[in-house]
Amino acid sequence: MADPIGEIALAAAALDRVHAAAGPYLASLADRPVLDPAAAKLLPELGGSLPDDGAGGAETVERLLRVGTAAATTSSGPRFFHFVTGGVTPAALAADWTASLLDQNAFARVSSSFAHETETVVLDWLRDLFGLPRGWGGALVASATFANFTSLGCATHWWGARHGRDTVGQGLTGMPRMPVLSGGYVHASARKALQMLGHGRDSVEVYGDGRADVGAMRRRLAELNAPAVIIGNAGEVNAGDFDPIGELADLAEEFGAWLHVDGAFGLFAALSPRTRHLTDGIDRADSIAADGHKWLNVPYESGFALVKDTARLGAAFGMPGAAYLPGPGDPSGGYALYGPESSRRARALPIWATLSAYGRNGYRQMVERHLDLAQHLARRVDEAPELERLADVPLCIVCFRARPAGVPEEALDELNRRIGAALIEDGRVYAGTTVYDGRVALRPAIVNWRTTESDIDVFVEVVRELTRRAV
């Protein structure tokens, strides 16, 4: 097969193969292992030299599906508890296929008014979902890292303006270092955002080993007597703990600081009356970063930045004029001028579809079901004599380790590393290790819409089985 124009009449054939594979694959998610180690032998089939003459679309997709449905990590299934990874709701999956089918460039109104208007609706729905006041704006981006980048880019522009400097046009050269204060929960993605913005990933001043030490921050802000940025963390990644967002908002108001909240998954605590108190004060932040491919359960890549002062987005991320492109303030412009990406797929479609399909109440019910599942897992851990829970469970993450009788304390870290590696290699369930309070531990996160109590029970039994083998 040469030029793809020869396949115009056959274009639907490749899609038919995907459609035929989708039903059996989705039906298998409830019971299939997260990873089949034996399927790795299929991966070399994807390699070899670049062909001079291709195999054609249908045959190529057939091979990709055969290898992928066997060897891919089933991260969209109910027993994937590693990182903080949601699945893909039926409505979001169908809408993501639609996004690929329509292949819109969501750069601006002029490139796709359909994509632009859908994104406008989605941002308003997300604002409403999390209880933020009208007037907030935002941008859909690829991840929480990009959401932090977008938010902290706006904070940088604000900080420069407070010094009488246009950082967009003039950069940071010759300016003092932007003070950034956070607690011990500051995430690597926020540091990476500061690194990419030119402030340096080590520019964060950390106050508190865990939750932010508000008193220490107040003393530092008084000492600085200058514009500063505060990062609050809504949902720490090892145990789901929160900084006192309301107190940080008070601090930001007292000293005229910019408050950014990293709520990658913890922002969803706002959806339930049981956990809403954890996000009290979020509406007083200046910017918020979150992920869609976590608790919203839409496909990768999906994140969003929400910003109180909408005009700040255009000021920080507007592009210099080009004869064929709309500039800031142009009616034919759009969201590429409000964030870091210019060429953008229509990632609003899966978010629009899932919010339209399940609504506020559907997401509240899902979050509360996951809260219940986390408590169930905590109870199972507490009841198991060879397991030890290391932290409270305020949200959806349960941090624990294996601690079998007769194993000395100094050997427990190595034991838990081996158990974590065995979990990945075994593949029936999936969770990795972390270090919490100086101890190696597991930290399964429950955010997948498919996960049920039986999946939690399977996870616990697999961990106990592998613990017995490891001792």
**Among 393, 364, 366, CA closest to 378:** 393
Q: Residue 1 — pLDDT band, cuts 50, 70, 90? A: low
Residue range(s) of every CATH 3.40.640.10 domain in the chain: 95-355
Q: Where are the alpha helices (DSSP H) in 163-280?
A: 167-170, 188-196, 214-224, 245-255
**Residues paired with residue 150 on neighbouring β-strands, in sequence order:** none
pLDDT surpassing 90 at residue 321: no
Task: Return residue ranges of the chain for CATH 3.90.1150.170.
Answer: 361-470
pLDDT band for 4, please (50, 70, 90 cuts).
Answer: confident
| pLDDT reported for residue 215 | 98
**pLDDT on residue 328:** 66
Confidence at residue 7, expressed as pLDDT on a 0 to 100 scale: 85
Summarize pLDDT for 331-364 with one digit per residue, the tens: 888 999 999 999 999 999 999 999 999 999 999 9
> What Cα–Cα distance (Å) separates residue 166 from each residue in 172, 200, 286, 315?
9, 19, 19, 9
Average pLDDT score over residue span 60-79: 96
Residues 63-76, mean pLDDT to the nearest whole number: 96
At 366-418, the pLDDT tens digits run 999 999 999 999 999 999 999 999 999 999 999 999 999 999 999 999 999 99
Residue 209: pLDDT band with limits 50, 70, 90: very high
pLDDT at 320 over 80: no
pLDDT in tens, 266-303: 999 999 999 999 999 999 999 999 999 999 999 999 99
The model's pLDDT over 426-456, given as tens digits with 9 standing for 90+, comes to: 999 999 999 999 999 999 999 999 999 999 9
- Can you state the percent helix, strand and coil of the chain, rounding each to 5? 50, 10, 40
pLDDT value for 217: 98
pLDDT tens for each residue of 129-152: 999 999 999 999 999 999 999 999
> CATH top-level class for 95-355?
alpha beta
pLDDT given at position 451: 98
Instruction: Tell me the pTM.
Output: 0.96
Asked if the 361-470 domain carries CATH number 3.90.1150.170, the reply is yes
Q: Which of 118, 137, 121 is nearest to 347 (CA)?
A: 118
Adjacent-strand bridge partners of 439: 436
